[in-house]
Amino acid sequence: MALQKDQAIILSSKVFGESDRIIRFLTLRSGKLTGIARGGKKSQKRFMNTLELFNHIDIEYFEKGEKGIVRVDNADLLEANDGIGSSFRRMCIASFFAEFVDRLTREKEPHAGLFTVLREALDKVKGVELTYFDVLYYQLGMLHHLGYVPNFTTCVQCGKDLSGDAPTSFSHVRGGVVCGACASQVPHRKYPEGLISGLADPAAFKGSGIVAHGRHARELMEAFMHFHLNVEFKSYRLLVSAIG
C-alpha cells in the first residue's frame, strides 16, 4: 500500500462503529474517494475535528488497490467550515454544492478544475449570504468541468452560432438553444430576452438583466437537470426553500 498525500474537501462524514468515521472527499489530484478513518470519531491527536463537513484539508491516506475504500491515516486543517453552520441558508447551500459534486462524479476520476470551483464556492458561503444567481454561477462552473453544461451558444438542430444574438428558445430535451428557423422542428420553451445570453456568460449576471428573471432561470435549469442528469438532489428542495 502506497501512502498518498493530497488536498481534499469533505463531502460527507458519518460515524462508523464505536470510534471510526467514514468520509467521502474530493481531492485535488485524484478525484473523489471514500475512506475510513480509524478512531476518527475520538482521535484528537490525528484528526482534531478535521473530518467535519466542508473542511478543506491536507490528507494522507493509503490505497489498498485500484478500487475500494482507502484508509485515512492523517489530516491537517487548511480551512475550516467556520461560518457555514451559522445559518440554515448557508448550510443548505453548502450541502447542495457538496451533494452536487458527490452525485455527479465517479471515484478516482481527477477533477482539478471542479475541486477549485467547489473550494471557491464554499469559501464564499462562509462569509456571504448567497443569492440564487450566486448559487447558479457556481453550479454552471461545476457543470462546465463535468462536461454537462447546457449549450447556450449554438442551435442544437442546425449548429448555427447564436453567440452574437439574443436567443429566447431553449430545448430541455436537446439540452440547448434553438434558432428561429429550427423552432418548429424541436420541442422548446420560450424565455425572456436576455436570459439565455446571460446564462451563457455567468460572470456577467449582476451586470445584466438576467437577475430580473430568477423564476425563469430556475425553471430552465431544473428542466435541464431533470432531462440530462437523471439525478434527484435531496438537498435541492431545502436550498430552494432557504434562498426563496
What count of residues does the chain have? 244
Q: Hey, what amino acid is at 211?
A: V
Whether residue 62 lies inside any domain: the answer is yes
What are the DSSP calls for 224-237, one per residue?
HHHHHT----TTHH
Here the cell at position 19 is 470510534
In three-state secondary structure terms, 24 is strand
pTM for the whole structure: 0.91
User: 79, 107, 130 — which closes off a domain?
Assistant: 79
Over residues 131-142, the mean pLDDT reads 92
Kindly report, residue by residue over 143-179, the tens digit of the pLDDT.
999 999 999 999 999 999 998 888 899 999 999 999 9
Tell whether 111 and 18 lie within a shared domain: no
Q: What percent of the chain has pLDDT over 70?
A: 93
Residue type, 44: Q
Same domain? For 60 and 89 the reply is no
Please give the residue range of the domain that contains residue 100: 84-149+196-243
Say yes or no: 73 and 91 in one domain: no
pLDDT value, residue 1: 63
